[in-house]
Structure 1
Amino acid sequence: MNTRKSLYQFGYRRCADQDRSSPARHPVVVVGAGPVGLCTAIDLAQRGVPVVLLDDADRIGEGSRGICYAKRTLEILDRLGVAEPCLAKGVTWKLGKVFQRDDLLYAFDLLPEDGHKMPAFINLQQYYLEHALVERAAALPNLEIRWRNKVVGLNRRNDGVTLTVETPDGSYAVEADWTVAADGARSGIRGMLGLAFQGEAFEDRFLIADVKMKGDFPPERWFWFDPPFHEGRSALLHKQPDDVWRIDLQLGPDADAKAEQAPERVLPRLRQMLGHDDFALEWVSVYTFQCRRLERFVHGRVVFAGDAAHQVSPFGARGANSGIQDADNLAWKLARIARGEASESLIDSYDLERSTAADENIGHSTRSTDFIAPRSSQELRFRDAALALARHTPFAKRMVNSGRLSLPSTYETPLSTPDREAWSGSAHLGAPLPDAPMRDRSGQPVWLLEALKGEETVLHVPNGQEPPAGLNVLVIGEDLVDESGLFAQRFDAAPGSTYLVRPDQHLAARWRYADPEAIQSASRRLRGLAGVTA
């Protein structure tokens, strides 16, 4: 049920490729104009790679769907030029509370320290995010979105892919050096290649509703085990923009999905939870979910991302956040390959890193689901014992799992150079850099992640040694001034400390003293050129 009409609709336009006698060839074709496909296309276009983005629909705005976007996702969106409108519209939050019945078990703070540009989380209806991404895409000269262009056929070759695309004017063919399948959980591309998911399906059903009302609830994440208004089940409440509130109610495995969406079933449940009927129902759905993924994300010149590659439960906001991190990992690698700056084997690191990240997310998601909806009497006893202990003991609070919230992945691959020294601080090898407030050469305030601009960068604290020539180098104290001392604290920086940062802002390697040969070697590994003579 959806009472909100589509907010944004886009017209079909005939493209030049449809009038060619032979198929046009493009460096990258992205299939699917959801958040993952849009982020991938924008990132590639910003890196100078022409992109065609195909989508079988002509609109966004069919229900709010995903709403929670984590700090790392916001940092990626900031690099893509869309964080500002999202922050302006979204509801910022960092506090969460977990209840059993009416009792508060504990509260948590997801970002207790200052000195970061982005907040811990914002809540924002997915259609607002998609609209901001579409507007950004429209501003890029080498990115073309083709609405109502449905991929109905695919032929793989060693040097690329030929796609058959169906439109209101008939079908046409287009060739791509690379195709990114970001076409969602029901991926048509996945079906055309005959690929199956591996993993687990859960039987429990959940009601998800968006309710418009004036409420006194603060902008926090509230989760209940066995609340008095929904006994024996779980419930979740989140605030969204426009006085809209997201409510999740566990229904159990035997619930009738169609019947539970009927107003005569939904409205009494909501009245019982809210204690009044002064609200309007905007969107409602009943869902089950799976925790599963493709065995491999890369199939020749076809690369899968987002829900087309992996699926998780919604607990912990891991779906859209992990999908956008797929795009963040993939785009710089495809761009380097397309520009001839990297070996094609670099794409194998996408498969390794993001399939490992998917396993991590699936593990967290499965454990959350088992805790929220125990599937055996043994699991239920463990859950109830943990909840009882959490009332009185700090250690048991860590055992309560109402959805471990999304965190970025740390990549442990051959692209990372092992630490040979002990380091303190919050910067970790293979993880995204912690942000820090800095000043540039002119004295203007700038954030560290802004200064990196999505490029491979060497950060160097001078000590008389010169970092290697030919790389993008930012010198701390000259190019960037650490007035607050937070960079030194978070990076355990001292004279001579040198850091190699990947284009996706993950820390690839670090040294106590600049070693030009070691830095050049690590940089070559980032391009998949290890062992190749310069």
Structure 2
Amino acid sequence: MLSTYKYPKYEYRRPPELDGAGQGHHPVIIVGAGPVGLATAIDLAQHGQRVVLLDNDDTVSIGSRGVCYAKRALEVLDRIGCGEEMVAKGVSWNVGRTFFREQEVFNFNLCPEPDHHRPGMINLQQYYLEEYLVKRAEAVGGIDLRWKNNVVGVTQQADGVELRVETPDGAYSLNADWLVVADGARSPIRSMLDLDIEGKIFMDRFLIADVVMDADFPTERWFWFDPPFHPNQSVLLHRQADNVFRIDFQLGWEADPEEEKKPENVIPRIKAMLGDDRPFELEWVSVYTFQCRRMKDFRHGRALFVGDAAHQVSPFGARGANSGIQDADNLVWKLKLVIDGQAPEQLLDSYSAERVFAADENIMNSTRSTDFITPKSPVSKTFRNAVLGLAEHYAFARALVNSGRLSVPSFLTESILNTPDTDTFAGDMVPGAPMDDAPIESAGSAPWLLGTLGNRFQLLHFVEDAATLDLGTVHALKALAHERVAVEAIVVAARGQAPEALRTVIDKAGRIRERYDMRAGTTYLARPDQHVAARWRAFDADAVRAAVARATCN
């Protein structure tokens, strides 16, 4: 066990179905209580949907596993009620540095602009994230979380899925209208349904060593190519919570994973890196192989695949858990609308289409990073080292350095749910874009724009002085809340309060105007997952209704 963390042990409770009680049939069953399954369950519960969540274990992840959580994932976690704990416990950072041998040749800043609520990245061991999510799942209500419930059989039906579940007290059956599969990279359910996952396994291995030590290293990401303490290979250093440092050592394909994990082989590598007599303790050691793979489709009838069950990437770039959390964010609002009869099942096909696009983007970036970090031929290595040697002095070479393009949200610009622009705008907030944050002032609301958005369709309508908004527009904005798919209208203003208690936020620092290219009359339709669905230079209620219909496949 770990010296810095005590694993919780969650209570197994005998399922009522074993005694002939219980419903046996549920609208949604989720398999896998890792970060993605838990996030999906909590988000559904916040939408008022009851969920059964099954997991074959009774604790959180063993070892630190995923450690880097990007700004977008933190914004999603804020919305489901865990972001504050994550940031408070984690190590926030924005700057990454890349070294070639002993010389720094490149650095970057993940969040160079001011006035964003969350940092570009935090480092925090995955077991903390899972613990916080479990606490939130227990608090939010509506989630039947069943530990030590192992799914051993799955049968697809025309209108649902039947599961066979084993427990310490025996086996029972459950039926679901919808099954969300979040059971990890090896996904037993994917195998039970005879579904393929395709891609590439890279011929290289890396050693993960989590080390406990007192060190004054900056809270930055450091990456070395060919350092003197580990010649001809690569090394990555991250600081985590509890004075735990994650060190990744490239090993090469011929390395024996079991031998490399032995302390007598790990400790000399760390001592060579630290270069002094600094005391440290090994906390956790593992060896991993790069993989870049995905399923062809993430929806198969009534089974919906999320996270590592649907796609896998190499860890450089922190795209695994971050992408999985965004899968949940994309899926939940669509599934809830379908369950409630407010959208056709076709909307769930857009989940697959949008997240397959995002997975391909992640796989492309991860593959390019892997090819740069672990060149597979002498020519490739010569090119890589030449780029690194030039990067210290030449901007064109710095643009080619790739020690892992870090996780950012996908711009879903080709989505069928978008309403194309008919007006001219500047900036990045195009239809399909993940929405930028900005500081605001608003009575009874979070002091950040994204803290006011999410879980429903919302309309942002900009005016200079909210108090001067005419009553006709006020009534038309408020009427949107009574449509079949409700839309909450929010007035964004430089000053003032809109009439008739219409919700108003003040663009405190002018960042909304700047980042969304807003001027008087500008109107944005925000999806429940904080992506832009449509935008106009003037408010038109009929145009909004048409955009909502398009965004819900109605």
| CA deviation vs aligned residue, 1:54-107 (integer Å, no higher than 9, x gap) | 000011141010000000000000000001111110001001100001101022
Unaligned runs of 5+ in 1: 530-534
* 2:506 match: secondary structure: coil
2:279 alignment partner in structure 1: 278
1:455-534 mapped onto 2 (5 Å cutoff): 455-462=456-463, 466=473, 467-468=476-477, 469-470=479-480, 471-477=487-493, 478=498, 479-529=504-554
**What is the rounded CA distance, in whole Å, between the counterparts of 1:406 and 1:17 in structure 2?**
42
What's the secondary structure of 1:488's corresponding residue? helix
- Between 78-87 and 423-432, report the one with greater CA deviation: 423-432
1:429 matched to 2:445? The reply is no
The 8 Å contact of residues 23 and 173 in structure 1, kept in 2 or not, is answered as no
C-alpha deviation, 1:431, in angstroms: 1.5
Distance in 2 between residues matched to 1:61 and 1:365, nearest whole Å:
24
Distance 1:445 1:10, change over 3 A: closer
Deviation at 1:6, TM superposition (A): 5.5
Q: Confirm or deny: 8 A CA contact 2:105 2:391 kept in the other structure.
A: yes
Alignment of 1:123-138 (within 5 A): 123-138=123-138
Q: Is the 8 A contact 1:4 1:283 kept in 2?
A: no
Question: What amino acid is aligned across from residue 176 of structure 1 in structure 2?
Answer: A
Partner of residue 268, structure 1: 268
Partner of 1:366: 367
Give the aligned CA root-mean-square deviation in angstroms.
1.6
- The 5 Å alignment of 1:34-433 reads 34-275=34-275, 276-411=277-412, 412-433=414-435
Contact 2:165 2:171 in 1 (8 A): yes
Distance 1:353 1:458 in 2: 22
Is the CA contact 1:459–1:474 (under 8 Å) kept in the aligned structure 2? yes
2:488 partner letter: N
**Secondary structure class of the residue paired with 1:271:** helix
Letter in 1 for 2:433: A
The Cα offsets for residues 259-303 of structure 1, whole Å up to 9 and x where unpaired, read as 000111001011101123510000000111210100111000000
* Amino acid corresponding to residue 143 of structure 1 in structure 2: I
Moved over 3 A (4+): 1-6, 462-465
- Inter-partner Cα distance in structure 2 for 1:301 and 1:42: 20
Q: How far apart are 1:4 and its partner, in Å?
A: 7.0
Change (3 A) 1:283 1:132: same
TM-score (normalised: structure 1): 0.96
Amino acid of the structure 1 residue aligned with 2:180: V
Identical counterparts, % of pairs: 54
Moved more, 462-471 or 504-513: 462-471
Shift of 1:35: 0.2
* CA–CA separation in structure 2 for the residues paired with 1:334 and 1:149: 24
What count of residue pairs does the alignment treat as equivalent? 528
Gaps of 5+ in 2: 464-468, 481-486, 499-503
List per-residue Cα deviations over 1:162-182 (Å, max 9, x = no partner): 100000000000111100000
Instruction: Quote the residue 2:18 is aligned against.
Output: 18
Equivalence for 1:532:
none
Note the alpha carbon deviations across 1:473-500, whole angstroms, 9 max, x for none. Answer: 0011241111311110011001110100
Q: Take 2:183 and 2:88, find their aligned partners in 1: how far apart are those partners?
A: 28
Contact 2:4–2:242, Cα closer than 8 Å, also in 1: no
Contact 1:68–1:123 (Cα < 8 Å) also in 2: yes
Residues 437 and 445 in structure 1, CA contact (< 8 A), matched pair in contact too = no
Q: Is the 8 A contact 1:293 1:311 kept in 2?
A: yes
AA aligned to 2:127 is Y
State the 1:385 CA deviation: 1.9
| Deviation of 1:338 (Å) | 1.3
> How far is the alpha carbon of 1:22 from its aligned partner?
8.7
Structure 2 Cα separation of the partners of residues 114 and 228 of structure 1: 37
* Structure 2 residue identity aligned to 1:475: V
SS at match of 1:437: coil
- Larger mean Cα displacement after TM superposition, 224-233 or 104-113: 104-113
SS at match of 1:290: strand
Give the Cα separation in 2 of the matches to 1:312 and 1:483. 39
Amino acid at match of 1:364: N
**TM norm structure 2:** 0.93
Q: Is the 8 A contact 2:105 2:389 kept in 1?
A: no
Structure 2 distance, partners of 1:448, 1:21, is 46
Mark the CA change 1:445 to 1:342 in structure 2 (over 3 Å): closer, same or farther: closer
Say whether the 8 Å CA contact 2:16–2:22 is kept in structure 1. Answer: no
In 2: Cα distance, 1:17 partner to 1:528 partner = 37
Q: Secondary structure at the match of 2:513?
A: helix
Distance 1:35 1:91 in 2: 19
1:365 is displaced (CA, Å) by 0.3
Kindly indicate whether the alpha-carbon contact (under 8 Å) linking 1:125 and 1:240 is maintained by their aligned counterparts in 2: yes
